[in-house]
């Protein structure tokens, strides 16, 4: 027998297959609503150079010398206000989204597609998700980051994390990366449906705010298209529903630090509206595919207080699309060309 026979027998042929794996990713969450768990989570999150673009040496001194000593306890209290028996709402909702996506794929002749959940920060990690697909012999992977509007701080960072893992693999899989879907017709339809359902069942608000997660203004001036994609999303929903443009606003939330961020700021806008006589507003956050700290605590609780304390009377939060059936249809529409 030739000494090369073991190699030419192609031992990999039976190990790998032509199945497709879908890696559904989102931002992530701490493992628990405790200061200890938040310290671990925030260290990973705030160490990402895509998140904070301050020179590394200076930022590491600030992060480890000040922020990680103070912020975990404060953040833990915020997480405790939204924590459920299932744990993190973001993780729980993403699990439900993945399960519904599996079922929908199976109904449309894609029962061999494997769907795995992973988080950019925290658990289950992106590395664990990729390894789960590799263990099943999958060599074609579609990555679906659940950020409708591309941003370097979210989608770009996810790509970085995927790339770092794959640099350690001998056999790099065929990779399809969804970099955003703010213009996808089914996504806009699902978003519009959620707004229309609210309007059909509630008194008409004087203003509807589309509140997106903010980013430093420097990101925009350096070429990040996120700001433009947010406005495009708002405009698409306004057009589809025929909303009065004078009653709709695009704002930005969740800023931190002293640098200028995308404006107008959601909290400032709510205070100004109430002070100028607006009594009833509705608000939604199309940047979030699942309800999380920034929607359940920041929008539903904190910003409601700002509006009411400034003189407003009715403040309605329109939930994220979460695991709505039309949201799952949008996921399928985004993925189908890669399957």
Which residues make up each annotated binding site for Fe(2+)? Answer: 213, 294
Judged by DSSP in three states, 202 sits in: coil
Pairs from 163-172 (Cβ < 8 Å, separation ≥ 24): 165/126, 165/127, 165/130, 166/130, 169/134, 171/12, 171/16, 171/139
Spell 187-200 as b/e; 16+ CB within 10 A means b: bbbbbbbbbeebee
DSSP conformation class of 125: B
Q: Using an 8 Å Cβ cutoff, are 206 and 281 in contact? A: yes
CA dihedral 252, 253, 256, 262 (to 10 degrees): 0
Answer positive or negative: Cα dihedral of 135, 140, 144, 145. Answer: positive
CA distance 215 to 259: 10
Question: Residue positions in the annotated binding site?
Answer: 213, 294
Q: Where are the alpha helices (DSSP H) in 136-253?
A: 157-166, 185-201, 217-221, 226-241
Checking phi first, is residue 261 left (phi over 0); if not, alpha (psi -120 to 50) or beta? beta
């Amino acid at each position: 027998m030739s000494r090369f026979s073991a190699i030419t027998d192609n031992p990999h042929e039976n190990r790998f297959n032509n199945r497709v794996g879908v890696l559904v990713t989102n931002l992530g969450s701490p493992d628990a609503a405790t200061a200890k768990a938040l310290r671990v989570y925030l260290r990973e999150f705030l160490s990402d150079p895509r998140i904070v673009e301050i020179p590394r040496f200076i930022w590491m001194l600030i992060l480890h010398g000040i922020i990680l000593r103070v912020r975990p306890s404060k953040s833990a209290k915020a997480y405790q206000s939204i924590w459920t028996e299932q744990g993190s709402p973001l993780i729980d909702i993403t699990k439900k989204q993945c399960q519904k996506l599996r079922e929908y794929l199976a109904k449309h002749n894609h029962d061999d597609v494997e769907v795995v959940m992973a988080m950019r920060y925290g658990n289950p990690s992106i590395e664990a998700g990729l390894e789960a697909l590799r263990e099943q012999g999958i060599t074609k992977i579609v990555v679906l980051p659940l950020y409708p509007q591309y941003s370097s701080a979210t989608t770009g960072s996810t790509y970085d994390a995927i790339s770092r893992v794959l640099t350690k693999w001998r056999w790099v899989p065929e990779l399809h990366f969804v970099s955003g879907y703010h213009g996808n017709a089914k996504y806009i339809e699902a978003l519009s449906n959620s707004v229309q359902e609210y309007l059909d069942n509630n008194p008409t608000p004087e203003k509807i705010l589309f509140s997106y997660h903010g980013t430093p203004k420097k990101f925009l001036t350096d070429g990040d298209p996120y700001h433009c994609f947010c406005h495009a999303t708002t405009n698409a929903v306004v057009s589809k529903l025929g909303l009065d443009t004078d009653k709709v606003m695009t704002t930005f939330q969740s800023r931190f630090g002293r640098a200028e961020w995308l404006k107008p700021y959601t909290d400032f806008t709510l205070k100004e509206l109430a002070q100028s006589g607006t009594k009833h507003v509705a608000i939604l956050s199309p940047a979030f595919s699942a309800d999380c700290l920034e929607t359940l605590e920041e929008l539903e609780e904190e910003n409601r207080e700002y509006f009411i304390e400034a003189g407003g009377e009715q403040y309605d939060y329109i939930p994220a699309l979460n695991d709505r059936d039309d949201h799952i249809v949008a996921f399928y529409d985004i993925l189908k060309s890669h399957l």
